Amino acid sequence: MNIELLQKTQEYIKANPERIEMRAWVRGNDAEGNPIYPYMPAELPTRLGVKMCVSAIAAAIWNATERKENEPMAIYASGPDLLGIESVSLWNSLVLISRWPEDLGVRYAEDSNDEERSAATVERIQRLIDSQAVPAD
């Protein structure tokens, strides 16, 4: 698992709570007002109103920090590979709110505000990281 990229994703979400949206990969409009979805922004969005899921944020961070010049851009669907999560079940437990622990799913509920959704998402990522930690000998 790519803990470093997960942690960078957490930090981005903490700093930009208005950007998290786990019910869609990417939602919003480009500078000309055209819908972004199903396309992936080449960089982290700075335009007001653009929201992204964990997978899309991780892909945008990777594009900005890890991608080599000759490599193709990562898109939201690249998330499992970029984050090193091979298990479909484990991946779904990160990106599908219905698979989150109940307390976090409730915190992310429709009536939550940006800060509550952001905090719940950051906690979900942290629990995933913690569940994969290997105890030291």
Are the C-beta atoms of residues 91 and 85 closer than 8 Å to each other? Answer: yes
Model pLDDT, residue 39: 47
Mean pLDDT of 87-109: 91
Mean pLDDT of 29-40: 56
Are the C-beta atoms of residues 62 and 37 closer than 8 Å to each other? Answer: no
pLDDT tens per residue, range 10-27: 999 999 898 888 877 665
Mean pLDDT of 36-41: 50
Domain boundaries, the chain: 3-132
The separation between CA 72 and the C-alpha centre of its own chain, rounded to angstroms, equals 19
Above 60 in pLDDT, residue 42? Answer: no
pLDDT tens per residue, range 76-95: 667 788 899 989 899 889 98
Q: How far apart are the first and last CA of the chain?
A: 20
Coil, strand or helix: which one is 126? helix
* HSE (side-chain half, CA atoms, 13 Å) at 99: 14
Q: How far is CA 50 from CA 11, 17, 66, 137, in A?
A: 17, 11, 22, 44
Model pLDDT, residue 102: 93
